[in-house]
């Protein structure tokens, strides 16, 4: 077998956001081995190295923009848990059949109201402040996802698909 044992490693897929390196640093501060990878190489790298999980970073693009960074949809068939942050959640929703639209621009702190604490928000208070920085938002979730948190203007600010271990947030927990 020529693949490395990356069973404890989390790969952070860098979609060009300013905080992709911060996500990796935060993971390392928690004692979690992590590595930044390019979205164009992610599928190949995941097949070879089989990480414990993936985090899709934020990014400045719109999923519908010509030349916007994307990832092979086959990545979702590998059985690897995925957390999408901001653009990462939007690209996940888009590739899995959801709908992303421009609007509901939010920049800076906002209030998040959590309605489900199993898995994604375990141990957090029902209301908390988060940092958002986005111009697009998911307007229709992909099949199998449920909303577990929202802000005043974003209905799907925290979502999960427990069956496939896919999660998304429209804010920046790393900030």
Q: Among all residues, which ones are annotated catalytic?
A: 86, 172, 174
- Interior angle at CA 55, CA 49 and CA 56, nearest 5: 110
DSSP for 13-69, please give it: E--S-TTHHHHHHHHHHTT--EEEE-TTTHHHHHHHH--SEEEE---SS-TTSTT--
Dist CA 138 CA 2 (whole Å): 39
């Amino acid at each position: 077998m020529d693949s490395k044992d990356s069973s404890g490693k989390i790969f952070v897929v860098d979609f060009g956001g300013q905080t992709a390196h911060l996500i990796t640093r935060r993971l390392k501060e928690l004692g979690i081995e992590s590595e930044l990878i390019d979205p164009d190489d992610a599928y190949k790298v995941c097949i070879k190295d089989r990480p414990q999980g993936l985090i899709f970073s934020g990014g400045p693009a719109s999923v519908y923009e010509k030349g916007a960074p994307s990832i092979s949809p086959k990545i979702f068939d590998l059985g690897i848990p995925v957390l999408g942050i901001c653009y990462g959640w939007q690209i996940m929703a888009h590739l899995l059949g959801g709908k992303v639209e421009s609007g509901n621009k939010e920049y800076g702190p906002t209030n998040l109201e959590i309605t489900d604490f199993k898995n994604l928000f375990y141990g957090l208070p029902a209301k908390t402040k988060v940092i958002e920085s986005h111009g697009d938002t998911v307007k229709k979730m992909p099949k199998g996802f449920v909303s577990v948190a929202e802000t005043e203007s974003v209905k799907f600010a925290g979502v999960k698909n427990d069956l496939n271990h896919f999660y998304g947030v429209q804010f920046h927990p790393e900030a």
